[in-house]
Amino acid sequence: MTAIHREPRAIEIGEAALAEMRELAPSLVFAMIVTDDGFELAHAPQKTIDGGRFGSMTSSVQALSEAVSRELRIGASSYVVIAAENGHVLQQRVPGQSLILASLFDNHETLGKALSISRRCVEKLSAELAPHNLQGFPGSTTHP
């Protein structure tokens, strides 16, 4: 069985979703869809930062945030925000998949709009990956 990040159809869907996201948010500096264990499915735009590093860090941050939610018994973590001086990073799970969308916006974007764009992207990914039965790949069924 092929892991989802090596499935050409899944990669195509991911790239299309990120392209649409870029159109909606010119302030998007970099975005990547990664597996739970940090491997890239798709990214946009063409490499402006070290994607491998970004993917691994996304995986660690997501896992830590979910460990905190579990520990505090506050339910599933919806998204993770790192608000910094010159931009913000937003992470959100793709519903029904072991995939995470991580997006870096510059500080011209409001957090609210970034969140809305990110949510739209993960919903689109979820809807488009499901009919292709791509949720059956290893590790892709553990999250709601």
Partner 1 sequence: MAEHVILFAGPMGAGKTTAIRSLSEIEMVNTEASNTERHIVDKETTTVALDYGEITLGDDEKVRLYGVPGQRRFDFMWSILKERAKGMILLINNDAPDAVALAIDYLASFRELVESGSAVVGISRRDLARTPSPDDYADALSAAYPGSLIPVFTVDPRNAGQMTTVLLTLVATLDSRVQPEAVQS
> Which positions touch partner 1 (CB under 8 A)?
3-5, 35-39, 52-53, 56-57, 59-61, 63-64, 66-67, 71, 98, 137-140, 142
**Closer to partner 1 at the Cβ: 21 or 94?**
94
Residue in 20, 6, 1 with CA at minimum distance from that of residue 127? 20
Q: What's phi and psi for 114, nearest 5 deg?
A: -60, -40
Q: How far is the CB of 107 from partner 1 (least distance, A)?
A: 24
Q: How far is the CB of 66 from partner 1 (least distance, A)?
A: 8
**Closer to partner 1 at the Cβ: 66 or 128?**
66
**Closer to partner 1 at the Cβ: 56 or 126?**
56
Q: How far is the CB of 37 from partner 1 (least distance, A)?
A: 4
**Closer to partner 1 at the Cβ: 20 or 66?**
66
Q: How far, CA to CA in Å, does 51 sit from each of 22, 32, 45, 75?
A: 17, 8, 11, 30
Q: How far is the CB of 98 from partner 1 (least distance, A)?
A: 5
Residue in 94, 89, 115 with CA at minimum distance from that of residue 30? 89
